[in-house]
Chain A
Amino acid sequence: MTDTARYHRPHTLEGALALLAQGDCRIAAGCTDLFPTTRHKALGGSILDITGIRDLRGITWTDAGLRIGAVTTWSDLICADLPPACDGLRLAAREVGAKQIQNRGTIAGNLCNASPAADGVPPLLTLDAVVEVASASGTRLLALADFITGPRQTALGPGEMVTAVLIPEAALAGQGHFLKLGARHYLVISIAMTATRIVVREGVITHVALAVGSCGPVATRLPEVEAALIGKPLDPALIADRDVATALRPMDDMRATAGYRSIGAAELLRRTLAALRLEEPA
């Protein structure tokens, strides 16, 4: 514990941004990623705890769509009244650790931690999520795909923090789904996971978003595979292993082989579509 170690817990966003402007500090919210990487009994270094800022918690509707405040927890999301397009996100929330983690961990923190296996990223990619980033000098918006720049890397600059995750109105159409693949039930870092959102009109797909996580340095959408589905009836068989594999850059690790991940991701995508087909109104 050094003398310079400081722990800040401001009650206003302005206060937090002013502190951030003064210099480097780690931003803490649910701490479900911060503490596991801490070998000690207290967080060290300079910490900016943003959980005291009430305005940052909660899910609200705006003219532009849905706004998920930066300290909104997975449990908050599970309990929220959200449209079917968010079902994938809600299913993902239920698979983040177990209840203890869902009660603490935040959606924004999941993005900032930028793990290739972050459960929130694939469903948020299918929802065209936008990350609201603030600093003392202003606010900017980044598409989620531009926000996460690599494994454990984000586009956050000095003095910046995430204040909200936004889901545009247009992306709240249709129905979402999510599937995760791991070697055990509960508490598992996924081998592969897939999120899907689909809009069907008059029997054909008019919009589709497919995303895969844990199969590359960052989770990714699959634009070519998506394009091939547009205008066709919902049919899981339209997803071919080869097309999915082309879109991914998986690696071998202790959880699975790269080849298995590609095959698994394709199979999961087919199953998300099959599940959505069952949910289609007759």
Chain B
Amino acid sequence: MNIHRTKGQKITLNISGKPRTVDTAPGRRLSEVLREDLNLKSVKIGCDAGDCGACTVLIDGRQECACLVPAIQADGRVVETLETAEPVLRAQLQQAFLAKGAAQCGICTPGLMMAAMELLRETPAPDEAQVEDALAGVLCRCTGYRKIISAVMAATTPAQVQTSPLAGAAVGQAIPRLDGQRKVDGTEVFGADYAPEGALLVRAVRSPHYHAAFTLGDAESWAAQRPGIACVITAADIRGENRYGVIPPLADQPALAEKVARYRGEAVALVVGAAEVVEPLDLDSFPVTWSPLPHALTAEEGAAVDAPLLHGDRPENTLIRGRVACGTPDAALAASAHVVTGRFETSYVEHAYIEPEAGAAWMEGDTLVIQACTQAPVMDLEDTARVLGLSHDRLRIIPSAAGGGFGAKLDVTLQPLLGLAVLKTGRPCRMVFSRTESMQASTKRHPGTMEATIGADAGGQITGMTFHGDFNTGAYASWGPTVAVRVPVHASGPYFTPHYRATSRAVHSHGPTSGAFRGFGVPQAAIAQEMLYDELALACGMDRLAFRLRNALRDGDTSPCGQVMQSVGLVECLEALQPHWEQAQREVAAFNATSATRKRGIGLASCWYGCGNTGLSNPSTIRIGITRDGRLKLHQGATDIGQGSNTVITQIAADAIGIAIDAIDIIGPDTALTPDCGKTSASRQTFITGRAAVAAGHALRAAILRLTNLAGADRMTLHEGRLTVTHGTQTREIGLSDMDPDANGYVIAAEETYDPHTTGLDAEGQGTPYALYGYGAQMAEVEVDMALGTVKTRHIVAAHDLGRAINPLLAEGQIEGGIAQGLGLALMEEYLPGQTENLHNYLIPTIGDMPPVTSILIEKPDPEGPMGAKGLGEHVLIPTAPAILNAIRDASGAKITKVPALPHRVLAAIKASRQ
């Protein structure tokens, strides 16, 4: 019999054919042993509950979640991680994942590959169903799974050798992502993957109540009784202003709450100390006395006259209102031949990136360095500096790789907390949110309650529309104002609407703070508008696609904001769907004729989305320099959270200069090294940072040409210490090693800024909110189980006008990933605070939920975009939910007015449609 003390147990794992012995508690999670004791960091921690599969390893050849394995149970067994697995099959998988674009952020990639390895050893040429069964235990939030399936199916067949595009021809090429290798080999450094030696662990004490007053007890004594705790930190330790927020005039969120906690999971204190002491602590023993207070969890409750005010200066808990109006909508509706009206409700949606928030911080001289996952390093710097009372030059933000973001990593979470801990202890510190902390303390998609009325004339032409949406903005401001402004601007959909009034209100509640989530409220509004469009088309007796074509915005049309639109590719998108629509109609009718219990249907929806900040300056700056030894450095400050900026911006810069992408080294993002490229949000990086890259690339090219006295250049080639330029029969060589470098170390350099031209909106929402828009339309085919109300999405056809496909492979990846999130919004995602704070109660789509996607890239160039390109990242999510909901109605008659369309809601709606 073995009786093991919790420490001092020798456990030997067989890794890569060698015994590796560690001294650990036998009941410690194997994932911890692999990561912390053996430095096998490809084993990712997404949930510590077996829900996400990011920690999947092979034990004696079988896939298991390392987070569920007590270390002792692996004693004497063969354990394979991505770093240590057999090299041949691993290399095949890595090549296939890169070539197919199967890795975006990369956080789930190691787990997926390990699951695939188990499959491929037994089944070298699996079919789709076998891949789905084998990989079903690993969640991916970026890709929509389809490219993963094709990568695994293709892994063991010889791949085509890809050649790098020639100089000047990178744009338009479907090259694998330039930062892909480290994502597929497990060496990418995410927030939890690096901390300086000896870093202390930071944990937060959080409110268990939706709304509660609290008093802190004798924390010093509590800490003193627990040797190894370095310090306890409360709001009293904050030297700067204890508030942050992405919109500085409305910054209202304390880093650590003072006296009152306004949402469940709000941090009130930090405990800092040695990891082996702090990690096992039961923080329920921390001395704090809670006095629960009345709370409101919905916008309706928050707006009630007797609701407790969350912020004294915001009457009726109203953070902000938005409005866009033109013409005389009430009169137009009254005179319309057909009018439809409806009320629609959406739920809190969790971003559910597989990487919970994590990072580390340390001092370098007088400078505090914070390395954490983020989408907005410069905003992090500004917010964190304010809280810490530091000048900006004493703070440096290094974004770690982000294991997904989708909007929630725009707001700071642990950055100020890490800063407080380092400043108080003088020691390096690290912090890693648990899945539950991540879900409690990060922002959500705004729940919306929307009412809309739309009219059409007898010929099916839209006459006018009114819309109002109340959005539950949660406890703090975050991006609530952005949602309140974006929704009325976009609620008409990309259709000519001459008479229009759309209003919105962001209402505080004690729910989680609602912030940015891919689309800033537009996906919610699109549900209302596109579902009513279906009703209106039917009322007009028109085909639903023809109805949309008739009303689609065209070049020269005026938007409800009074902006004259240019380069509108919606008609092209809808026309691209036409053959698919007609074919699907025939197939669906044939199926339904012989099926009673299962009925199929098709639905459509469109999108438009303005790229960049709404009516506000949001510049990006790109610096490019050539070193004396002949390397070209691209300072690329656009955070790549998986969407592909590292690749796309490099492709654009390479062609603007006229040089091969192989010659370019990417630097950053890092607030000490890269000029500000703004935040990765609002589908702005390809557009705005892309334009800055074009400008900087052209400037660098001009500087090179000046040095050569050539009128142009057909070829530029960098060599060790020299640059060769060829124009026609002329060749010039620039000796770089003899030149004097500038302050940044470059002998030839350029730095350029681009800021899109917009105007602020007036009281009626009139103006030019965006310099550029992207467009799209999607068609969904679903099958509804008429007896159970379950819905299976069978196929999505997605046509998106992205101006110019800088990288078609990555563009398709954005489309498929956005569709997966739209499918989740439509069918299963509903965050209920206190109930769904994990990934088994909160459902996101699995590999079995994603249908095949047919992507159609429409390229109608916009003169404002880089090489004509438009944004895409958020557009792709907007039409999916309404297209699916419209397909459900087409199939079953069920009119869904609350998402997600869970089976019981669908079945109830089917029954209601029969009455």
Residues of A that sit less than 8 Å from B by CB: 1, 5-12, 15, 19, 28, 30-32, 35-36, 38-44, 47, 49, 51-52, 75, 97-101, 103-104, 181, 183-189, 191, 254-257, 259-260, 263-264, 267-268
Contact = CB atoms under 8 A, between A and B. Distances in A.
A41 B56 CA distance: 16
Nearest to A35: B68
Interface of B: 1-7, 9, 25-29, 32, 48-51, 53, 56, 62-65, 67-70, 72-73, 115, 118, 132-134, 136-139, 276, 279-280, 434, 436, 787-790, 827-828, 830, 832, 835-836, 838, 840-841, 843, 845-849, 900, 902-904, 907-908
Given A40-B280, A185-B849, A9 B62 contact: no
16 contacts: A1-B280, A31-B73, A36-B51, A42-B27, A42-B280, A98-B137, A99-B115, A100-B115, A183-B827, A183-B828, A183-B902, A184-B845, A185-B846, A186-B137, A187-B51, A187-B137
Nearest to B29: A41
Contacts of A19: 1
Contacts of A43: 27-28, 70
B32 A41 contact: yes
Contacts of B845: 184
Nearest to A1: B280
Nearest to A191: B903
Contact of B68 (A9, A32, A255, A256): A32
Given A41-B279, A98-B53, A255-B902, A9 B63 contact: no
8 shortest A-B CB distances, which residue pairs? A98-B137, A185-B848, A260-B904, A43-B27, A36-B49, A186-B136, A98-B136, A42-B28
B685 to A, nearest CB: 31
Contacts of A36: 48-51, 68, 838, 840
A255 B830 CA distance: 10
Contacts of B69: 31, 104
A184 B2 contact: no
Nearest to A15: B1
Given A41-B32, A183-B902, A189 B840 contact: yes
Given A40-B280, A42-B29, A49-B73, A101 B2 contact: no
A1 B830 CA distance: 36
Contacts of A15: 1
Majority-rule SS of B interface residues: loop
Contact of B6 (A42, A191, A264): A42
A183 B843 contact: yes
A51 B73 contact: yes
A186 B848 contact: yes
Interface centre among A35, A101, A264 (most CB of B within 10 A): A35
Nearest to B27: A43
Given A35-B48, A183-B827, A9 B2 contact: yes
B28 A41 contact: yes
A256 B903 contact: yes
Interface centre among A19, A100, A187, A189 (most CB of B within 10 A): A100
A267 B788 contact: yes
Nearest to A189: B840
A254 B28 contact: no
A101 B6 contact: no
B62 A257 contact: no
Given A98-B137, A181-B790, A35 B29 contact: yes
A100 B903 contact: no
Given A10-B1, A104-B68, A254 B835 contact: yes
B53 A40 contact: no
B1 A11 contact: yes
A60 B846 CA distance: 35
B424 to A, nearest CB: 24
B824 to A, nearest CB: 9
Given A100-B64, A100-B65, A6 B5 contact: yes
Contact of A99 (B136, B139, B434): B136
